[in-house]
């Protein structure tokens, strides 16, 4: 029987989602906890990778195990939350169709990045203090250019093991909210380091260091060295996963 975990995590103390040698990861933490509570080795498949220090407020993963009642699933959720420290929260566990896949069935992913133009003494751990005024209108104009392209090699970490660097951008915009500048971007998939490098390059637009035309030329160049710096991971959140509605039909 296949089960989906719906969870959230603070990525500050982890090397990311995926298991890495000699580094703490979210995936390993969950597999160890499930193995302890269910008394057998459990493999967990996540909806995607997050880099070191990146957070997730909406994350899905799946694992396989014998059939459990709703009562036992709720007991498992309770025990998992007792097992973890505050960095990981299991929001729900539910039965799925055997062919359901947390990664491959996801149709879009939404990230949010938080930039502080002024000091944030109570939010510094989860926002990037930039300290300079930005032209949000130009940044939004540049963000619209992302819809015109599918190859985002210029914003990808080099030497990654993917078949191609093509992504379909579904939304990308900046807004001022609760004293912060928030960048929201959604796509069918993301490359490693992609959101952080796009954000850094858009900040260059907001400073007037590059023009909107320069931003487009950077994308067209397919050259990572021409794009802006990758902004700090601590201010990046995987905000929302979207799946087809029928994947969650009660079985």
- Which sequence positions are flagged as catalytic? 51
User: How would you label 105-122 residue by residue, b for 16+ Cβ within 10 Å and e otherwise?
Assistant: bbeebbbbbbbbbeebee
| Alpha-carbon gap, residue 187 to 171, rounded angstroms | 7
Reported as half-sphere exposure (CB side, CA atoms, 13 A), residue 239 has a value of 14
Structure tokens at 14: 């982890």
β-strand 108-116 against 180-187: which pairing, if any?
antiparallel
10 Å CB burial of residue 20 (0-12, 13-18, 19+) is middle
Taking the CA of residue 95 as centre, how many other CA atoms within 13 Å lie in the half-sphere pointing to its CB?
12
């Amino acid at each position: 029987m296949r089960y989906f975990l719906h969870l959230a995590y603070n990525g500050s103390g982890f090397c990311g989602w995926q298991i890495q040698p000699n580094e703490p990861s979210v995936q390993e933490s969950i597999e160890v906890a499930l193995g302890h509570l269910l008394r057998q080795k459990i493999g967990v498949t996540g909806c995607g990778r997050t880099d070191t220090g990146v957070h997730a407020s909406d994350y899905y993963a799946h694992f396989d195990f014998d059939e459990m009642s709703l009562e036992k699933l709720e007991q498992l959720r309770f025990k998992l939350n007792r097992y973890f420290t505050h960095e990981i929260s299991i929001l729900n566990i539910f039965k799925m169709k055997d062919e359901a896949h947390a990664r491959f069935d996801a149709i879009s992913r939404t990230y949010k990045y938080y930039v502080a133009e002024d000091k944030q003494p109570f939010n510094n751990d989860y926002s990037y203090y930039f300290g300079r005024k930005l032209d949000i209108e130009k940044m939004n104009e540049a963000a619209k250019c992302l819809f015109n392209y599918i190859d985002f090699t210029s914003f990808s970490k080099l030497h990654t093991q993917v078949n191609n660097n093509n992504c379909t951008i579904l939304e990308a915009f900046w807004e001022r909210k609760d004293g912060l500048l928030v960048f929201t971007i959604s796509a069918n998939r993301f490359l490693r380091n992609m959101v952080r490098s796009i954000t850094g390059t858009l900040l260059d637009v907001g400073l007037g260091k590059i023009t909107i035309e320069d931003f487009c030329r950077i994308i067209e160049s397919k050259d990572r060295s021409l794009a802006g710096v990758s902004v700090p991971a601590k201010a990046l959140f995987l905000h929302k996963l979207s799946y087809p509605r029928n994947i969650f039909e009660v079985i």
